[in-house]
Structure 1
Amino acid sequence: MSAAMIAIPGKDICCSHPALQPNQPTVLVSKTRALYGSCHHRSSKRVVLRRRSLLLSQGVASVSVFSCSLLAADSPTRGMEKLPFKLEGYNFWTWRGRKIHYVEQGSGPPVVLIHGFGASVFHWRYNIPVLAKLYKVYALDLLGFGWSEKAIIEYDATVWSDQVADFLKEIVKEPAVLVGNSLGGFTALMTASELPDKVRGVVLLNSAGQFGDRSQQPDKNDGETVLKKYLLKPLKEAFQRIILGFLFWQAKQPSRIESVLKSVYVNPSNVDDYLMESITRPAADPNAGEVYYRLMTRFMLNQSQYTLDSVLGRLSCPLLLIWGDLDPWVGPAKAIRIKEFYPDTSIINLQAGHCPHDEVPELVNRALIDWLSTLNVEGPLQSV
């Protein structure tokens, strides 16, 4: 959001929007003094100070009200219905002995929402209530994230695709459309490619995943020697734990989370307390640090085993890409390449960042509803 010049009605005071922070009151104080000049009589000092205090309080109040209205006007979610935030979560399902959190709302053809890395069901806060007016909406927390259990296991992409597949079989119990953002998008693709009879369509919002490099051949001489197995590998893991432990401590700090979110939200007005709480609370789990370590050392380093081209090659359902073109991490070039590889693809480009469903939810909801109505099934008769 650009700096907006704010003038207090009736007062010759002007300040920029970013300066309206509690740690910068000197701007207002100095301007107030300029209005009144210096006091030469001791007997009038107390009266002038009172007038200064009154003016300052009125000025701050005026600026606060004005800035709040400015932010509200710029927010694309103003007046939108939102999923209530619940510290205790919503519903829980036991999967392979692990506790999995999910939300279930509405009635009609099922739609399953899958969050991205580090997020939770609450990242779909503006989508669930609207979609639930037309569809049976599910949103689940992937194992290791959100309100689901922080299981100490070896994580890879198949863990989450297996989780979603079993969720479809045990909870949804009928063919559904999978909608995923970032990591959730790749999880949706993997699930659909392995379970075609349970998935009617897939929607990707700035999906994770990489195309394979055909020129790169595996190193046949990369055998694990005794020295590597018993000395070098343990030393490497110990070093990684120290470094990643520090990085996790940094990553879960609210200021750091806020900074990262604002870097991927073109309009940062939705980076609010609700969103921050939905991310920082799961990070406080006692096992969160170990899960982070395993994700960074196992899953992240083994992504090349699961490529977009290999998954798309097995896909057999319609695909919709809703893409935030201003994403600094996953640009629109990936969406174009996906469509080139898989022709049964529709693309909707939005002026948004990595999380368009939370940044411009009204546009995403409309795009989803319009596309869902075109699927070859009996859809809802009403419209939003």
Structure 2
Amino acid sequence: MPRRTVPHVEHVTVHGHRRAYVRMGSGPALLLLHGLGCDRTTWAPVMQSLARTHTVIAPDLLGHGQSDKPRADYSLGGYANGMRDLLTVLGIDTATVVGHSFGGGVAMQFGYQFPERTERLVLVASGGLGPEVSPAIRAITTPGFHQAMAVLSAPGLRHAATAALRLLSRSGVRHVRDLGEVADIYDSFKDPRTRAAIRHVTRAVVDWKGQIVTMADRAYLTEAMPMLVVWGADDLVIPVAHASNASALAPTARIEIVPNAGHFPHKDHPERFAKIVRDFIRTTEPAHYDRTRWRELLEEGALRFPVQAEAGESPVAPVHSVRRAAGA
């Protein structure tokens, strides 16, 4: 396929549902998975840079962006299946999977379900590493959210609120830098199908106590797969302390903390982020699935790497191999 240097939205139907995606560049494949309520455009600041050396695939997950928003399976496993089938339709056998926030949970699930198709994992401010999450996300799971957002998404109120959020995001105050993304998510809630889809997605991974999905019981499997964890030092959506959880659960993971960045380090510092990802790929060998070795890890892993936390609880362990991103 000829190299594409300008993002162009394409569509493909998988399992009867139309899915939007952007494909750029050439070379080894990078699958970029966005977070809850976002879409492929969250990766726009880094796509062209990454496409210089890789084939970059950035889809709108089902229920988001220009993809269909059916009443369907919005579980992590369902999303992982959808991404496997999307890659298959596009003729891509293996990829380095990059997931942001909720997309990080999908990336981990993809690597767990399809290790033979996963070369590396890159988790960006990822879910699944501890229970804590912002109250705004927990609120989506509460009864009446759909009805309340129908009122709050009325044109006049929505336009005023999103304008205010975007203005605050440009104020230079670090703790409100992510409000521009929040405004985009809020604006998308004008579509009742989007509200319903986001509610289903959130309830699959979050309850009133926080995140209910954890990688703690399967973290030992990362021994067979290179993993990079990137976090913004000022993240207010999912605490940067969860990067320490990743370090404790997966000692071989590479951890990068990006200073002066919030929940979207790939947008706050796109050049630095792209360099971190490229350096990680350049200095690691892609995982090669070995069925015998995978079985050994499954049989021995619980003894060699005992679960350090119950589901939904953060592991308590000292931080090691955590470092500040280059250029700090």
Judge same fold: TM > 0.5, yes or no. yes
- Larger mean Cα displacement after TM superposition, 262-271 or 90-99: 262-271
The residue number in structure 1 matching 2:246 is 338
1:170 to 2:93 alignment:
no
1:93-242, aligned counterparts within 5 Å?
Answer: 93-211=12-130, 242=144
The residue number in structure 2 matching 1:92 is 11
Structure 2: how far apart are the matches of 1:180 and 1:248? 29
Structure 1: how far apart are the matches of 2:31 and 2:203? 29
Which segments of structure 1 move beyond 4 Å, counting only runs of 4 or more?
Answer: 254-258, 267-272, 275-282, 296-299, 302-305
Given that 2:165 and 2:183 are in contact with CA atoms closer than 8 Å, whether structure 1 keeps it comes out as no
The residue number in structure 2 matching 1:48 is none
Bigger Rg, structure 1 or 2: 1
Gaps of 5+ in 1: 1-81, 213-239, 378-384
Given that 1:99 and 1:149 are in contact with CA atoms closer than 8 Å, whether structure 2 keeps it comes out as yes
Shift in Å, 1:175:
1.4
The residue number in structure 2 matching 1:362 is 271
Structure 2: how far apart are the matches of 1:374 and 1:126? 23
The residue number in structure 1 matching 2:147 is 245
The residue number in structure 2 matching 1:283 is 189
Aligned to 1:125, what secondary structure does the other structure show?
A: helix
Given that 2:70 and 2:197 are in contact with CA atoms closer than 8 Å, whether structure 1 keeps it comes out as yes
Q: How many residues align?
A: 264
Given that 1:178 and 1:201 are in contact with CA atoms closer than 8 Å, whether structure 2 keeps it comes out as yes
Aligned to 2:229, what secondary structure does the other structure show?
A: strand
Structure 1 pair 270–299 and aligned structure 2 pair: CA distance change class (3 A): closer
Given that 1:141 and 1:148 are in contact with CA atoms closer than 8 Å, whether structure 2 keeps it comes out as yes
Scaled by the length of structure 1, the TM-score of the pair is 0.61
Aligned to 2:206, what secondary structure does the other structure show?
A: helix
1:29-68, aligned counterparts within 5 Å?
Answer: none
Shift in Å, 1:375:
2.4
Shift in Å, 1:291:
2.0
Amino acid at match of 1:246: A
% identical aligned pairs: 24
> Which digits, 9 at most, give the CA deviation of each residue in 1:80-124, with x for residues without a partner?
xx966xxxx711121211111110000001111000011000010
Shift in Å, 1:282:
4.4
* Larger helix percent: 1
Structure 2: how far apart are the matches of 1:375 and 1:265? 37
Gaps of 5+ in 2: 132-141, 287-328
The residue number in structure 2 matching 1:321 is 229
Scaled by the length of structure 2, the TM-score of the pair is 0.70
Shift in Å, 1:276:
8.0
Given that 1:265 and 1:355 are in contact with CA atoms closer than 8 Å, whether structure 2 keeps it comes out as no
Structure 1 pair 249–289 and aligned structure 2 pair: CA distance change class (3 A): farther
Aligned to 2:272, what secondary structure does the other structure show?
A: helix
Structure 1: how far apart are the matches of 2:173 and 2:256? 18
Structure 2: how far apart are the matches of 1:121 and 1:114? 7
Shift in Å, 1:298:
4.7
Shift in Å, 1:250:
2.8
